């Protein structure tokens, strides 16, 4: 590969997919199950590649393997539900990842247009908004039409396991973000003020 200054740049080394997957596994996530109805079919799949995208309009994103059944179903007309699992729902996570669970699936409105799971910490009903190609995955951005949450602790996923969330120490969330809309001077002034109170 030729560089503008006449030098030669070597081609990048190939990426080992398994090593990359292991590296990405260092990022802890929550666990969701995406559920939908398409005609007589009610389908669900476990997904940890989920994120909020926008509040105005309300949008959320799910990344699905383009070879998966769920990936194909979400390309069809019809809404779907993002079920954010409770920390007690490991069996559900594994069930929708392909391992049968010992008891029945706790469906809510299984016969309706938006079947969802009971006992979750939250769920969002989404309508297809945009789909983007992303290599071996497709990015499904959904418009959030309704949602509900309840008190609880989410199921976490990290390095192929389900670690437990640490006990609540009542520490507050960050009040400001360095990349937020407030001027940096405001952040520094507030930060110095907070330090003087200690």
DSSP 79-129: -EEEEE-BTT-HHHHHHTTT---SS---EESTTSSS-EETT-SEEEEEEEE
pLDDT band of residue 64 (cuts 50, 70, 90) is: very high
Question: What pLDDT is stored for residue 76 in this prediction?
Answer: 84
pLDDT digits (tens, 9 = 90+) for 92-140: 999 999 898 888 999 999 989 999 999 999 999 999 999 998 888 899 9
Counting every residue, how long is the chain? 198
- Residue 8's pLDDT is 67
18 versus 111: which is more confidently predicted?
111
pLDDT of residue 193: 43
As a whole number of angstroms, the distance between CA 174 and CA 168 comes to: 15
- % of the chain exceeding 70 in pLDDT: 75
Q: How sure is the predictor about 198, in pLDDT bands with cuts at 50, 70 and 90? A: very low
Q: Is pLDDT at 148 greater than 90 in this prediction?
A: yes
Give every CB contact of residue 92 below 8 A, 6+ residues apart in sequence: 33, 85, 101, 105, 106, 117
């Amino acid at each position: 590969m030729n560089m503008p200054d006449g030098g030669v740049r070597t081609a990048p080394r190939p990426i080992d997919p398994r090593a990359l997957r292991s590296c990405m596994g260092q990022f802890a996530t929550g666990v969701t199950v995406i559920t939908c109805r398409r005609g007589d079919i009610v389908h669900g799949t476990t997904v940890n590649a989920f994120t909020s995208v926008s509040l105005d309009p309300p949008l959320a994103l799910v990344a699905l393997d383009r070879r998966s059944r769920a990936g194909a179903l979400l390309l069809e007309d019809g809404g779907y539900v993002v079920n954010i699992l409770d920390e007690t729902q490991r069996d559900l996570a594994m069930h929708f990842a392909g391992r049968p669970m010992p008891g029945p699936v706790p469906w809510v409105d299984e016969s309706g247009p938006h079947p969802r799971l009971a006992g979750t910490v939250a769920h969002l009903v989404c309508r297809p908004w945009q789909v983007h190609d992303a290599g071996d995955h497709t990015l499904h951005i959904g418009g959030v039409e309704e949602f509900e949450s309840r008190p609880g602790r989410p199921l976490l996923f990290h390095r192929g396991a389900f670690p437990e969330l640490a006990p609540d120490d009542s520490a507050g969330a960050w009040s400001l973000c360095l990349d937020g809309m407030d001027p940096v001077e405001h952040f520094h002034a507030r930060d110095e003020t907070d330090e003087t109170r200690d």
